[in-house]
Structure 1
């Protein structure tokens, strides 16, 4: 049993996440040091956060090691599902556990190699409060922040 559990998770509000897009003077875009992972399944229809990566929760078993490797240079990784009550937090936990497993494996392999003395900055893994449902309530129509948003889907419920 892993010692990484729900109490280890941190959350980010939709307002704080949106600020990361809008801080740039250029056209709003996802900062290079940030990744957003959308783990909704068929409920992914109707829009998504600009620049997010869709990894359906049904694919997490085999895609998590790939995610850890591909996102190793990101300072912040944000997970979300529709409500961020189950799939989003579960995905974040799975990611953290796999990251630890792979990090420990690489430490074992690198023993005996020269230490550069540089401390690697710890990656922050967060969950979006309220998930995409809460995000789209405020930012769905905002094309700077949301892509492929379909008002009729959200107006009448998914």
Structure 2
């Protein structure tokens, strides 16, 4: 993953290192940088982990911070949320390149079907700071709540995610 500063600059966005996170509204004092520090610290707990939590954790945060990711970020992460949360697919690390392959094929024939960045702080109420200090069972419940909250905030784009998700299912899950 490239640095958030480089990607933000490409997108014409100035990152703030003070106050609440400028994208998700997380209760930070160090802005988006603290938000990413919390995310990265927590993500290190999932390295090598199994189950859906590493994936929906990453998807929720990426969808809340579109400005520091690539152009097709929202399509990819919303599609993976669709596959996990709606279709109950047990996600593994090996499935991510498969979804990327389907997404790459889709982009060739539908280059203008991008899921846009939602208005700032309209990407779900739950943020990464709501996870801080939770024990495992409560943490897992809150990650699931966070993922669903972010997923629902993109509700009008669920049909876009469904198209690509169903292409993935037809190719790899049948």
TM range (shorter): under 0.3
Which structure has more strand as a fraction of its residues?
Answer: 1
Which structure has more helix as a fraction of its residues?
Answer: 2
Task: Normalising by structure 1, report the TM-score.
Answer: 0.27
Task: Normalising by structure 2, report the TM-score.
Answer: 0.25
